[in-house]
Chain A
Amino acid sequence: MNLLADALASGTVTTGEAVTFWILAPIALGGAIGMVLARSAVHSALLLACTMLSLGVLYMLQSGPFIGFVQIIVYTGAIMMLFLFVIMLVGRDSRDSLLETLRGQRLAAIGLGIGMALLLCTGLARGIGSVTAVGLDEANANGNVQGIAADLFTKYVFAFEVTSALLITAAVGAMLLAHVERRKGDRPGQKELSRLRFRKGNYPGPKAGPGVFATSDSVATPALLPDGTESERSISPVVPVRELTPAEAAPKGTDGGKRK
């Protein structure tokens, strides 16, 4: 007698539970597959979030509300981390590069993937085949949170303490990698900065805005100095200096071209 048939036969799976499962399971699976296939890294992160949320709801469905909400709270933060990392490292429109830089990674990935799949399959097979489900009624007798606490602080106290060590190791590692240590004197203070600003040859005043005193208010039109010459410093170096055509200099219609 396996777990699935057992549950179905005894009628412990209610209709609502079954319906929710069949809605959420494809979402979770689809999110996971989409995460691997998505070209944009942010879309990947979003699909991962989708999978994690579905899993959280599935936990709630199986009388584990605490673990369900914890899944949501912790994973939203964790995925946010991933998200920030992605934003910082790659541009918004950058896509996956299809160039392989690591030699033999495809082979290694296939090997590891098969190994992982085998491991999961044996675990699942054992789980479905030989374990009899007892349900969570007994464990949740005094409330779900209380039940978890009771186990966590008595039976699994060692694992609990080791978790903190694991967390701190990871955090310190990340800090060491990401943090550049600087002493107080390494940064120029206000005095140094102001001296740099007033150094001989530096013009300390603000730069003239583009388009000021000019024929057009475009950013590409340099400001005119009092003697009538154009000020090169008034335009951003990324903008090419050019004389605008009358059409370009005309006010841009923002009314959808109705009045032109």
Chain B
Amino acid sequence: MGTTYLASYSTLGFLLVLGVLVSIAAFAANRLLRTQAPSPAKQTTYECGLDPVGDGWAQMQIRYYVYAFLYALFAVESVFLFPWAVVYDRPGFGVTAAAEMGVFVAVLALGLAYAWRKGVLRWL
């Protein structure tokens, strides 16, 4: 604990900062070395040869949102599963922990089953 704990994370932070610095350096070098000849035609949005009409937004399906919601649901579930998996084999847990997690997963699986039955998971 203590110093070694922070050392591991500061190493990680160091790598993160290094990554940012490297990409900033790359952008700087790119800025100096690349050719630059802007023209209005180049700055238009690419539309396979047609001149774009309107802005680049189109009405999207609500489905994407439902899937994102399911993601949040299952992300929380897997977050609970991780510590459970780690302690599962230790003395004092075992069957009790299995039962507790069983109830938890069953309730969530019920949700997935409901979504399935309702046809939410059918894309088309």
A87 proximity list for chain B (CB < 8 A) = 57, 60
- Closest B residue to A182 by beta carbon equals B119
The answer to whether B75 and A73 have CB atoms under 8 Å apart is: yes
Residue numbers in B under 8 Å from A70 (CB-CB): 79
Per-residue CB contact flags for chain A residues 138-181 toward chain B (1 = under 8 Å, else 0) read: 00100001101110110001001101110110111011001101
| 15 cross-chain CB contacts under 8 A | A74-B76, A88-B62, A88-B65, A146-B83, A149-B84, A150-B87, A153-B93, A163-B80, A168-B107, A168-B111, A171-B73, A171-B111, A179-B118, A187-B124, A219-B51
Most A Cβ at <10 Å: residue of B6, B57, B69, B86 = B69
A88 and B84 CA atoms in complex are apart in Å by 37
B80 near A253 (CB under 8 angstroms)?
no
Q: Of A92, A161, A163, A178, which contacts B57 at CB under 8 A?
A: A92
Shortest beta-carbon distance from A74 to chain B in Å: 5
Chain A residues lying within 8 Å of B54, measured Cβ to Cβ, are 238
By the criterion CB–CB under 8 Å, are A256 and B64 in contact? no
Chain B hits for A85, CB < 8 A: 65, 68
Cβ–Cβ contact B37 & A255, under 8 A: yes
Chain A residues with Cβ below 8 Å from B114 are 172, 175
Distance from B39 Cβ to chain A, minimum over Cβ atoms (Å): 5
CB proximity of A210 to chain B, nearest CB, Å: 9
**Contact (A178, B62) CB under 8 Å given A149-B86, A171-B111:** yes
Task: Kindly state the separation between the CA atoms of A26 and B54 in the bound complex, as whole angstroms.
Answer: 39
Given known contacts A153-B100, A168-B108, A63 and B1 CB-to-CB distance under 8 angstroms: yes
Chain A contacts with B in 118-156, Cβ cutoff 8 A:
137, 140, 145-146, 148-150, 152-153
A252 to B43, CA, bound (A): 12
Q: How many residues of A contact B (CB 8 A)?
A: 61
The interface-forming segment of A75-83, A97-105, A108-116, A226-234 is: A75-83
Q: Compute how far the CA of A253 lies from the CA of B124 in the bound complex, rounded to whole angstroms.
A: 43
CB-CB nearest in chain B for A236: B53
* Contact yes or no, B71 A161, CB < 8 A: no
Query: What residues of chain A lie closer than 8 Å to B42, measured between beta carbons?
Result: 254, 256
A85 CB, nearest partner CB in chain B, Å: 5
Give the distance in Å from the alpha carbon of A239 to the alpha carbon of B69 in the complex: 39
Answer whether residue A66 sits at the interface, using C-beta atoms and an 8 A cutoff. yes
Alpha-carbon distance A253/B38, docked complex (angstroms): 11
Please give the distance in Å from A47's CB to the nearest CB on chain B. 18
Q: Contacts A88-B60, A146-B83 known; A256 to B37 CB distance under 8 Å?
A: yes
- Number of A-B contacts defined by CB within 8 Å: 161
On whether A161 and B66 interact (CB within 8 A), knowing A17-B6, A149-B87, the answer reads no
Q: Which of chain B's residues have a CB closer than 8 A to the CB of A61?
A: 6, 9
A152 and B83 form a contact (CB under 8 A):
yes
Smallest Cβ distance from A94 to chain B, in angstroms? 9
Contact A14/B93 with A87-B60, A148-B83 known, Cβ cut-off 8 Å: no
Whether A175 contacts B1 in the complex (CB less than 8 A), given A146-B90, A161-B103, A161-B104, comes out as no
| A96 contacts the other chain (CB 8 A) | no
Tell me which of A92, A148, A236 contacts B55 (CB under 8 A).
Answer: A92
Nearest residue in A to B41 (C-beta to C-beta)? Answer: A252
A179 engages B66 (CB within 8 Å): yes
Asked whether A171 lies within 8 Å of B70 as measured between CB atoms, the reply is yes
Rounded to whole angstroms, the CA-CA distance of A182 and B84 in the bound complex is 39
- Given A14-B6, A77-B75, A175:B120 Cβ within 8 A: yes
Tell me if A258 counts as interface (CB < 8 A to partner B). yes
